[in-house]
Amino acid sequence: MRVKSLVIHLLVLLIAAPPAVAGQRRESPEVWRTFAERLDAGAFVMVRLHDGTTMKGHVIDVAGDALRFKPKTRIPVAIRDLPFADIESIERQKPGLSPGSKVLIGIGVGAGAIFGGLLIFLAAVYD
């Protein structure tokens, strides 16, 4: 019984070890500098910092050892300089629809459904 328990614990350790080690890898600041330099000015990106915060916004410029970044927030904020040493990852994003566009699409779909239902009702009554 003791050997069986030892083998089970060893297998669990071997299965769990690679993902735990993979999460600890950190890229050097030069990797993120090179990546940011290749982005167009105004590119929409998501930046994750080593302290766990994530921000979405637009790349303004690469200045020295920092990324000039304009966060996309509900209330406008100033441009931030993010040191490449603090950056864990940069991911290019596609900007989504604005909230106003989403509301207008919902109103259009609702109006179309009501109008279609009204046409079906009229066709059933006058048939």
Per-residue pLDDT of the chain (127 residues; tens, 9 = 90+): 687 777 777 777 668 766 555 555 677 888 888 899 998 888 999 999 999 999 999 999 998 889 999 999 889 899 999 999 999 999 998 878 888 899 999 999 999 999 999 999 999 998 7
CA distance 53 to 71: 12
Report the number of distinct structural domains present in the chain: 2
Q: State whether 30 and 55 are in the same domain.
A: yes
Q: CA 45 → CA 22, 56, 93, 117, distances in Å? A: 24, 6, 5, 43
pLDDT of amino acid 59: 93
Query: Does 40 fall in a domain?
Result: yes
Q: State whether 56 and 108 are in the same domain.
A: no
Q: State whether 87 and 41 are in the same domain.
A: yes
Q: State whether 46 and 87 are in the same domain.
A: yes
| Domain residue limits at 119 | 97-127
Q: State whether 125 and 68 are in the same domain.
A: no
Q: Which residues pair with 45 in a beta bridge?
A: 57, 92
Residue spans of alpha helices (H) in the chain: 2-22, 29-38, 99-125
Query: Does 18 fall in a domain?
Result: no
Cβ burial of 89 (10 Å; 0-12, 13-18, 19+) is: middle
User: In what order do the strands lie in the sheet containing 66-71?
Assistant: 80-83, 66-71, 54-63, 44-49, 87-92
Q: State whether 88 and 103 are in the same domain.
A: no
CA distance 123 to 127: 6
Query: Does 3 fall in a domain?
Result: no
Q: State whether 86 and 101 are in the same domain.
A: no
pLDDT of amino acid 18: 62
